């Protein structure tokens, strides 16, 4: 299974999770960059404001998903929904394979129903698996069972009866 992980991260937490997942899945990783947001309180306020008005900022597109069997898309939750750069990415309608997964990090932890629902609305196919982790858990290298469950659900989408490998 050739897997691409595409993520946006402002503070580094989602990046950390993306790297953990990449190691487990032997996946390629590509970051969405968005010059509109940086460090500092004003930037955080802007990020929050943009989240609330569902703004789609300009992004530097990550690697195209062509040739991959699965794509995992990740980012932080901003104001109870997906962060603005992820909204821009999904709205650009990349030509995803049939199997896509969603992983989010947040201050408040799961379930982040609104964020998952918003991402699902923008995605062209249903997510085969979703993972929502609290930022403190990611920083502590926790939730190993949750991460394994997510990886297995993505992998299971490829296992067909009577076919091994």
Ligand X SMILES: Cc1cc2nc3c(=O)[nH]c(=O)nc-3n(C[C@H](O)[C@H](O)[C@H](O)COP(=O)(O)O)c2cc1C
Positions in the binding site for ligand X (CB under 6 A) = 9-15, 44, 47-48, 76-80, 105-108, 135
Residue, CB closest to ligand X: 11
The least CB distance from residue 127 to ligand X, in Å, is 18
Q: 99 or 115: whose CB is closer to ligand X?
A: 115
**Tokens of residue 62, six digits:** 């990550």
The least CB distance from residue 16 to ligand X, in Å, is 8
Number of H helices, E strands in the chain: 6, 6
Q: 42 or 145: whose CB is closer to ligand X?
A: 42
The least CB distance from residue 107 to ligand X, in Å, is 3
**Tokens of residue 136, six digits:** 């403190």
The least CB distance from residue 113 to ligand X, in Å, is 12
Q: 8 or 127: whose CB is closer to ligand X?
A: 8
What is the distance between the terminal CA atoms of the chain, rounded to a whole angstrom?
Answer: 10
Q: 13 or 130: whose CB is closer to ligand X?
A: 13
Nearest to 129 by CA among 109, 143, 146, 107: 146
Cα–Cα distance, 6 to 125 (Å, whole number):
16
- Please give the torsion angle defined by the CA atoms of residues 51, 15, 60 and 103, in that order, rounded to the nearest 10 degrees: -60
């Amino acid at each position: 299974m050739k897997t691409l992980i595409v993520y946006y991260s402002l503070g580094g937490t989602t990046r950390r999770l993306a790297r953990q997942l990449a190691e487990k899945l032997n996946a390629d990783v590509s970051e969405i960059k968005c010059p509109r947001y940086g460090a500092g309180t004003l930037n955080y306020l802007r990020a929050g404001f943009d989240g609330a008005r569902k703004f789609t900022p300009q992004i530097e597109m990550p690697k195209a998903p062509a040739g991959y069997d699965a794509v995992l898309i990740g980012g932080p939750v901003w104001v109870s929904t997906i962060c603005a750069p992820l909204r821009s990415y999904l709205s650009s309608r990349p030509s995803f394979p049939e199997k896509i997964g969603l992983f989010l990090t947040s201050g408040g932890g799961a379930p982040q129903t609104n964020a998952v629902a918003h991402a699902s609305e923008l995605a062209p196919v249903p997510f085969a698996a979703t993972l929502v982790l609290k930022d403190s858990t990611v920083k502590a290298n926790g939730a190993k069972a949750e991460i394994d469950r997510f990886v297995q659900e993505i992998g299971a989408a490829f296992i067909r009866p009577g076919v091994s490998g």
